[in-house]
């Protein structure tokens, strides 16, 4: 039995999947259809570096929620040493005031739809 074409097709699928993160990173910064999240104007830094926030913001939000809801902690120091409240709406969305042009810009592209807004108030900022 000759399975060459199947193996090649399998390899192509594997390569596309394996290279997706690199392709995705390389694609941001060039032209074409890609998410273009609008960063808040007049703000220069996030609660952590952009390199950290980009892949790990969902983990940070999980940690914040657990710390607040389970452990009763409210405040956290940012990397600049500033104390902020661990709050999705009061902190994240205070800067990223437009969910649509920031969060949704990536999530819609990726087909993720975090259910957080079932309960947390969705900002409709400028
Ligand atoms: C003080 C304002 C401020 C707060 C509070 C803030 N951000 Fe940011 N955020 C920024 C800025 C400014 C950048 C861009 C940073 C840069 O370019 O180095 C950014 C970057 C990001 C990025 C990366 C975007 C990209 O294009 O890769 C994500 C994701 C993000 N923030 C999510 C969050 C989440 C989630 C929270 C709450 C846990 C939060 N931010 C809190 C101002 C803020
Ligand atoms: C630079 C692109 C980008 C931006 C901007 C962004 N996200 Fe995300 N977000 C992602 C990626 C990538 C995932 C992971 C998707 C997956 O795991 O399939 C994700 C996942 C999440 C998840 C987990 C969802 C789940 O179902 O697992 C939450 C919660 C989340 N983001 C919150 C936010 C919030 C709040 C903002 C705006 C303040 C934001 N994100 C902005 C790219 C982004
Ligand atoms: C079923 C309703 C519900 C859903 C869905 C939900 N939350 Fe919450 N969340 C709450 C409640 C209630 C609190 C406690 C509020 C408080 O003590 O300030 C909370 C607290 C939090 C906190 C800390 C307090 C604050 O002001 O933000 C974070 C962070 C948080 N949630 C993140 C998330 C994220 C991220 C998602 C989506 C992945 C999510 N939540 C989905 C109900 C919900």
Determine the distance separating the centroid of ligand 1 and the alpha carbon of 8, expressed in angstroms: 41
Residue of 82, 10, 15 whose CA lies nearest to 45: 82
| pLDDT value at residue 48 | 97
- Find the distance separating the first CA and the last CA of the chain, reported in whole Å: 62
Q: What is the largest CA-CA distance in the chain?
A: 66
CB contact set of 108 (below 8 Å; sequence gap of 6+): 35
Q: Please determine, for residue 30, whether its predicted confidence score (pLDDT) is greater than 60.
A: no
User: Hey, whose CA ends up nearest to atom 32 of ligand 2?
Assistant: 58
**Tokens 């661990």 map to which residue?**
86
Is the model more confident about 35 or about 15?
Answer: 35
Residue of 90, 96, 94, 64 whose CA lies nearest to 77: 64
pTM of the model: 0.86
Q: Which of 3-17, 29-43, 53-67 has the lowest mean pLDDT?
A: 3-17
95 lines ligand 1 (CB under 6 A): yes
């Amino acid at each position: 039995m000759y399975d060459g074409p199947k193996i090649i097709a399998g390899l192509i699928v594997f390569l596309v999947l394996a290279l997706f993160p690199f392709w995705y990173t390389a694609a941001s910064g060039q032209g074409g259809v890609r998410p273009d999240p609008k960063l808040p104007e007049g703000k220069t830094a996030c609660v952590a570096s952009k390199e950290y926030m980009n892949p790990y913001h969902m983990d940070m939000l999980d940690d914040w929620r657990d710390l607040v809801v389970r452990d009763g902690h409210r405040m956290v120091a940012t990397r600049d040493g500033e104390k902020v409240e661990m709050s999705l709406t009061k902190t994240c969305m205070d800067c990223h005031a437009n969910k649509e042009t920031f969060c949704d810009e990536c999530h819609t592209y990726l087909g993720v739809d975090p259910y957080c807004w079932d309960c947390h108030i969705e900002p409709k900022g400028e």
